[in-house]
């Protein structure tokens, strides 16, 4: 890959950290966004620097427009541009329709959907200027199947797919591709509790009989960010160990 500058949101751990490192291995300089875990983000930065690439740890809550604005200005100023955006920041919470507080519904949409929109809106000018860009939005298996216990999560992640297709259509003339990745169960902190409580049941429901390693999701994201994936746009790639066929 030509030297490119990437922003991965929520890159202090899990799928985001694995993606930031994979992109650095592909030759990118990487901005590592995080919300609270500064030390974890700096550890990712050190790993990227040990690969000979530049990296920047940058705190911002992606649901806050002003913070995203400051983050992207800093990246363009310090790293010299922005060509790749991976909208990965996210969290999970649970509550059925009668239990879910309206504030939690709003927070989930703000982090997942507003965050992806703000980051894309503010990153696109640099990509248009370069006449090359990649946006990968992280959706979820739950966007495709629905979720009885997390309607807000499934809805926000389904919205991410609509945003992906819309931006893909609008940005294609500028050589900017926009795709989504929909992971299934992945071994990260996000679902460590459910894996500890019912890991056997979860694994037996997956055709490949195991959960994904974060690096296995990151490989697909990094491929979509590469020159080789230049003719793929508007797609949602499921990476679920086959569970989506069930």
Ligand X SMILES: NC(=O)c1ccc[n+]([C@@H]2O[C@H](COP(=O)([O-])OP(=O)(O)OC[C@H]3O[C@@H](n4cnc5c(N)ncnc54)[C@H](OP(=O)(O)O)[C@@H]3O)[C@@H](O)[C@H]2O)c1
Give the residues lining the site for ligand X (CB under 6 A).
9-16, 33-37, 40, 61-63, 88-91, 111, 138, 140-141, 183, 185-186, 188-191
| Closest CB to ligand X among residues 37, 128 | 37
User: Tokens 């504030």 appear where?
Assistant: 103
Known active-site residue 118:
no
Q: On the CB side of 48, how many CA atoms lie within 13 Å of its CA?
A: 33
| Closest CB to ligand X among residues 64, 130 | 64
| Closest CB to ligand X among residues 49, 61 | 61
| Closest CB to ligand X among residues 148, 172 | 148
Residue whose C-beta lies closest to ligand X: 14
The DSSP letter of residue 213 is P
d(CA 89, CA 49): 22
Question: CA Rg, the chain, in Å?
Answer: 17
| Closest CB to ligand X among residues 41, 127 | 41
User: Tokens 């002003």 appear where?
Assistant: 66
Which residues neighbour 122 within 8 Å (Cβ) at sequence distance 6 or greater? 68, 69, 72
Q: Please state the closest distance from residue 41 (CB atom) to ligand X, in A.
A: 7
Counting beta carbons within 10 angstroms of the beta carbon of residue 179, is it exposed (0 to 12), middle (13 to 18) or buried (19 or more)?
A: buried
The DSSP letter of residue 52 is T
Q: Please state the closest distance from residue 13 (CB atom) to ligand X, in A.
A: 5
Compute how many other C-beta atoms are within 10 angstroms of the C-beta atom of residue 197. 9
3-state helix, strand, coil in the chain (%, to 5): 55, 15, 30
Q: Please state the closest distance from residue 151 (CB atom) to ligand X, in A.
A: 15
Structure tokens of 214?
């974060």
Structure tokens of 154?
């499934």
Active-site annotation holder among 91, 153, 185, 231: 153
Q: Which residues are part of the catalytic machinery?
A: 153
């Amino acid at each position: 890959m030509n030297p490119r500058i990437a922003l991965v949101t929520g890159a202090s751990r899990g799928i985001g950290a694995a993606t930031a490192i994979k992109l650095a291995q592909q030759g990118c300089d990487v901005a590592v966004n995080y919300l609270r875990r500064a030390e974890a983000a700096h550890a990712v930065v050190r790993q990227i620097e040990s690969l000979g690439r530049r990296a920047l740890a940058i705190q911002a809550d992606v649901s806050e427009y002003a913070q995203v604005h400051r983050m992207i200005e800093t990246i363009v100023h310090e790293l010299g541009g922005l060509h790749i955006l991976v909208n990965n920041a996210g969290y999970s919470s649970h509550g059925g329709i009668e239990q879910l507080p309206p504030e939690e519904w709003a927070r989930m949409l703000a982090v997942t959907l507003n965050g992806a929109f703000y980051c894309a809106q503010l990153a696109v000018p640099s990509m248009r200027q370069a006449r090359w860009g990649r946006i990968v939005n992280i959706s979820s298996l739950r966007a495709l199947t629905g979720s009885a216990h997390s309607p807000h999560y499934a809805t926000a992640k389904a919205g991410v797919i609509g945003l992906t297709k819309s931006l893909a259509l609008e940005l294609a003339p500028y050589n900017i591709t926009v795709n989504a990745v929909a992971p299934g169960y992945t071994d990260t902190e996000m679902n460590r509790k459910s894996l500890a409580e019912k890991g056997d049941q979860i694994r037996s429901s997956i055709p490949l009989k195991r959960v994904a390693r974060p690096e296995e999701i990151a490989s697909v994201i990094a491929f979509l960010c590469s020159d080789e994936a230049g003719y793929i746009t508007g797609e949602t790639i499921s990476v679920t160990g086959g569970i989506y066929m069930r």
